[in-house]
Structure 1
Amino acid sequence: MKMSLRLTPVILLLLGGCTVGPDYQRPSMALPVHYKEARGWQQATPQDSASKGEWWAVYRDPQLDALLRQVSLSNQNVASYAALYRQALALAAQSRAGLFPSVSYDASTTRSSSHSNGQRSTGNAHQAELSASWELDLWGKQRRTLEENRASAEASAAELANMTLSAQSELAQDYFELRVMDEKIALYQRSVAAYERYLTVINNKYQAGSESRGTLAQAQMQLESARSTAQDYQWQRAQLEHAIAILLGKAPADFSLPVAKLNATMPAIPQTLPAGLLQRRPDIAEAERNVAAANAAIGVAVAGYYPDLSLSASGGVSASAIQNLFSLPNRVWSLGPSLSGTLLDFGATSAQVDQARATYDSKVATYRQTVLEALQEVEDELVELNTLQGEIAAQQRASDAAQESARVTRNQYEAGMIDYLDVATTENSSLSEQQSLLALQSTQWVASVELIAALGGGWHASPSE
């Protein structure tokens, strides 16, 4: 009894074991309290699990809302990453199962025949066996493996979220570009109609001898140039429509987006954007979880220095007749431990540990670089949007002035005060200024989506805010 009490702590130590390798600590990475372009520092802590809601709701566009809701359901790239995430979860579950004993069974029946000294003998053999084995996790190798696979599964979940956000962002950008393209096409269609009227008037004057051949050619050139640009925009619109179809997991032939006016609302950027919002970015969370997995892999490699201890037990019955199979004399059993390890590997285990540590250092650097690049993306989008506000306002004034100039020159031409060349010049300038305005507006819509994506899905802490 005393011997049993002395052995109890030893048994508990063997069962509980220890865990070799470093315990994980998130790499330090400072973030600014606010953004330079949004007019200090804090510790970065990934918060990709924070609820962000349907970030596209800020645009208040029912058509966009309906399209983006389909991305997570139908996009094939998202479906691929979702399958990889399920695979990572299964791998983690498999690692967890390795912490417990495994039990297996075997049952067989054979009939054999033999000849000896001219005599033939035939017999039956029946066997049933139940066995169990358990590799004791003395040094924490299996626990580190489970830790590694769980971190990898979490990284896979973040990768899935990142792919979903990326696909949604890309679709929203394509959608806004397509809607602005509709406005560009409409602008040129109006211009073509106006140029056709001019050409008719000038041709009548030419036939009457009151207008020159050069003026007629100028009007013809202006009309055909506008027609060419309008057709160029048509194929660009078609390609944007095809891109949206693919993002929705549909063949381009099975999807169409009718021409419509852009009725979305441009969201106002808050005066202050805390850098903490950046911590919700799934790519940052993925990079940080990869660091955690690499840290656990160091422990798995270090455990290679230590022996593995397994316990195995089996029991069964064996008999020549089934009716005697479970009788006491036919029972067999075995029980015993197994210790295995490496005595000499010429530095192979040490090299594996060095490799694991180098991989960890690489993942830490990748994590920090991901944070820095995310900061740059946000700053870039903020400065672009802040600049675009003034640029669009100035371009709007330039467009209005160009349209007024074109109106005045048209009236002067109709009154016979100037040549048509002046009209063509001011009309071209007006069309160019309006086209530039639409291009800036398209850039603004795209930049707003890119800012939301750069912040991990909006600038609110929760959908209710």
Structure 2
Amino acid sequence: MSLPRRHSIAIALAAAVLLAACASGPDYVRPQVDMPAAWTPEAPWRAMQPQDAAPRGPWWERFNDAQLNALQQQALAGNQTLAIASARLAQARAQLDVAGAAQLPQLGINTRAARARISANRPLTNYNSPNFSTVQNDFALGLNVSYELDFFGRVRRSVEAATASAQQSAADLENTRLLLTAELASNYFNLRELDIELDVVRRAIALQRKALDLATSRHDLGATSGLDVAQQQALLDNTLTQVDLLGRQRAQYEHAIATLTGTPAPAFSLPPSLAPIALPDIPLGIPSDVLERRPDVAAAERSMAAANAQIGVASAAFYPSFMLQPGYGVDSRNWATLFNAPSVLWSLGVSASQSLFDAGRLRAGVDFTQAGYNATVATYRRTVLTAMQEVEDGITGIASLDRAWRQSQSAIASARRVLEIATSRYEGGATPYLDVITAQQALLNSERQAAQLMGQRLLVSVFLIKALGGDWHERREQTPLVQSKTLSPEER
């Protein structure tokens, strides 16, 4: 081989390598989002940094409730919304396999076996030789290869987009799982709060029945008028009405839990429980941790990457596409000679296509993908801002509810003392029965408010865990931000 020819081949190969290294469209860079330097927590919060790279387990187990754990496992196995998200992930992974297959040559085989008669009246190809009608066989076997030379990165950008979309679907599945488990926990804690509230109301009913017996006895003895009995009876009837209203609310949460676990509502029931529930110790990292932990933020970021790659796919249409299509096979009119050397045929070539005029179609396609990317950037930033808001709301909410719950315990103790004093004074004839009724109602309201605050503390804990992206892995030397406190029956 001559030296100039070798140089020509080397230059051609170098040019091909350089072209192959090019990819149309911009390389993806995650947009920057303004992040606060730290949270603004209230006591008893103290900032810590969780290990976000560690595997995340079932966060609901931190509440130490066996019934909740069983329901969560049932929901993860039977919830239909989660099944839909799993199917979407399978679709995205299959689409990635489709896109990735374009990076490799496509190999095909074609065969033909025919017997045909050629017309004697067909147009002449040689005026010096007349046509004859013949009947003959045609046997063929061939291999075809098709491979796109990705000089301008269309295939690579397509794979990049499919990869990001598959990762987005995986993050969407994790987000669906997080939302499902959080919603189930919220409904469960609402139901348990109503169990406690119903217990409070039933205990109040028992107390009010005793007070009614006392008022009735004093009326029968002539010590009081019938007004005291009527007032106590009205209070008792009103409290009995609350049982039915609370029972209806409990049934609605029970039905919601049934649907979340994939169980028909008529076939599902949860017995009442007054078992103590512990608040978990929730570690709070720096704000940027939320970007790594929350699956919805991850999904929004992967959506940006996919949209950015689509710009490259659309931009590649401005450049020519090259297809390498070699072929090899055999063709013969006789089966016996099909694989003889004279029957061999082959082809080797490259086809290229380039649009010369499209009335702005390609440019519009690039503009469309660019606008789609801008939309995903705005969605990502909105998701991050929402994440910051939710975490901050959870931090302040838990701190405020913790103070309110402690104050409610003092209010219950005070209401009980007021009821004891009012009852004693009424029995001694020093005060009217209205004071006893007022004290009874105040105690009932205080105990119900404490039960509701307990439920709200649990709900906000779930909300904050969801806002932080799920479970965490704590280092042993870390000190918990919120000390767990198990509620005793007296405190509830």
1:277: which partner in 2?
Answer: 289
Q: Relative to structure 1, is the Cα distance of residues 462 and 256 closer, same or farther in structure 2, using a 3 angstrom cutoff?
A: farther
User: What whole-Å deviation, never above 9, does each CA across 1:87-108 have from its counterpart, x for those lacking one?
Assistant: 1111112111101110011223
2:16: which partner in 1?
Answer: 14
TM-superposed deviation, 1:418: 3.0
Q: Distance in 1 between matches of 2:29 and 2:243?
A: 59
TM-superposed deviation, 1:461: 5.4
Q: Does 1:85 align with 2:97?
A: no
Q: Report 1:268-347 matches (<5 A).
A: 268-269=281-282, 273-279=285-291, 280-347=293-360
Task: Choose which of 44, 68, 72 in structure 2 pairs with 1:68.
Answer: 72
**AA aligned opposite 2:420:** R
Q: Is the 8 A contact 1:205 1:211 kept in 2?
A: yes
Task: Choose which of 196, 209, 212 in structure 1 pairs with 2:209.
Answer: 196
Task: Choose which of 17, 25, 28 in structure 2 pairs with 1:24.
Answer: 28
User: What whole-Å deviation, never above 9, does each CA across 1:270-322 have from its counterpart, x for those lacking one?
Assistant: 5x642233121111111111111111111111111101000112222333443
Aligned-residue RMSD, C-alpha: 2.6
Q: Does 1:141 align with 2:154?
A: yes
Q: Is the 8 A contact 2:408 2:449 kept in 1?
A: yes
Q: Is the 8 A contact 1:53 1:462 kept in 2?
A: no
Q: Say which is worse superposed, 76-85 or 210-219, in terms of deviation.
A: 210-219
Q: Does 1:252 align with 2:265?
A: yes
Q: Say which is worse superposed, 235-244 or 131-140, in terms of deviation.
A: 235-244
User: What whole-Å deviation, never above 9, does each CA across 1:312-356 have from its counterpart, x for those lacking one?
Assistant: 122223334433322333333332211101001122211211222
The unaligned stretches of length 5 or more in structure 2 are 44-50, 122-131, 479-492
Q: Is the 8 A contact 1:277 1:461 kept in 2?
A: no
TM-superposed deviation, 1:378: 0.7
SS across alignment from 2:322? strand
Q: Is the 8 A contact 1:48 1:285 kept in 2?
A: no
1:160: which partner in 2?
Answer: 173
Q: Is the 8 A contact 1:134 1:311 kept in 2?
A: yes
Q: Is the 8 A contact 1:75 1:247 kept in 2?
A: yes
Task: Choose which of 444, 447, 469 in structure 2 pairs with 1:456.
Answer: 469
**AA aligned opposite 1:73:** A
1:126: which partner in 2?
Answer: 139
SS across alignment from 1:233? helix
Q: Distance in 2 between matches of 1:290 and 1:463?
A: 36
TM-superposed deviation, 1:374: 0.7
Q: Is the 8 A contact 2:255 2:265 kept in 1?
A: yes
Q: Is the 8 A contact 2:186 2:459 kept in 1?
A: yes
Q: Is the 8 A contact 2:52 2:473 kept in 1?
A: no
Q: Say which is worse superposed, 243-252 or 67-76, in terms of deviation.
A: 67-76
Q: Relative to structure 1, is the Cα distance of residues 216 and 111 closer, same or farther in structure 2, using a 3 angstrom cutoff?
A: farther
Q: Relative to structure 1, is the Cα distance of residues 308 and 17 closer, same or farther in structure 2, using a 3 angstrom cutoff?
A: farther
Q: Report 1:42-57 matches (<5 A).
A: 50-57=54-61
User: What whole-Å deviation, never above 9, does each CA across 1:350-389 have from its counterpart, x for those lacking one?
Assistant: 1211222222222122211211111111111111111112
Q: Report 1:85-234 matches (<5 A).
A: 85-112=89-116, 124-206=137-219, 209-234=222-247
1:35: which partner in 2?
Answer: 39
Q: Is the 8 A contact 1:136 1:310 kept in 2?
A: yes
Q: Relative to structure 1, is the Cα distance of residues 417 and 196 closer, same or farther in structure 2, using a 3 angstrom cutoff?
A: same
Q: Is the 8 A contact 2:161 2:307 kept in 1?
A: yes
Q: Relative to structure 1, is the Cα distance of residues 334 and 38 closer, same or farther in structure 2, using a 3 angstrom cutoff?
A: farther
Q: Distance in 2 between matches of 1:267 and 1:313?
A: 66
Q: Distance in 2 between matches of 1:138 and 1:381?
A: 52
**AA aligned opposite 1:355:** F
Q: Distance in 2 between matches of 1:380 and 1:415?
A: 51
Q: Relative to structure 1, is the Cα distance of residues 331 and 63 closer, same or farther in structure 2, using a 3 angstrom cutoff?
A: same
TM-superposed deviation, 1:22: 1.1
2:421: which partner in 1?
Answer: 408
Q: Distance in 2 between matches of 1:11 and 1:244?
A: 65
Task: Choose which of 371, 375, 383 in structure 1 pairs with 2:388.
Answer: 375
2:47: which partner in 1?
Answer: none
Q: TM-score, normalised by structure 2?
A: 0.86
Q: Is the 8 A contact 2:62 2:280 kept in 1?
A: yes
Q: Distance in 1 between matches of 2:474 and 2:200?
A: 40
**AA aligned opposite 1:13:** A
Q: Is the 8 A contact 2:100 2:159 kept in 1?
A: yes
User: What whole-Å deviation, never above 9, does each CA across 1:151-186 have from its counterpart, x for those lacking one?
Assistant: 111111111111111111111111111111101111
Q: Relative to structure 1, is the Cα distance of residues 283 and 446 closer, same or farther in structure 2, using a 3 angstrom cutoff?
A: same
**AA aligned opposite 2:290:** L
Q: Report 1:359-370 matches (<5 A).
A: 359-370=372-383
**AA aligned opposite 2:10:** T
Q: Distance in 2 between matches of 1:281 and 1:154?
A: 14
TM-superposed deviation, 1:197: 3.0
Q: TM-score, normalised by structure 1?
A: 0.90
Q: Relative to structure 1, is the Cα distance of residues 463 and 457 closer, same or farther in structure 2, using a 3 angstrom cutoff?
A: farther
1:385: which partner in 2?
Answer: 398
1:42: which partner in 2?
Answer: none
Aligned residues: 456
**AA aligned opposite 1:248:** T
Q: Distance in 2 between matches of 1:431 and 1:251?
A: 36
Q: Distance in 2 between matches of 1:73 and 1:277?
A: 29
Q: Distance in 2 between matches of 1:156 and 1:35?
A: 30
Q: Relative to structure 1, is the Cα distance of residues 135 and 269 closer, same or farther in structure 2, using a 3 angstrom cutoff?
A: closer
Q: Distance in 1 between matches of 2:74 and 2:119?
A: 74
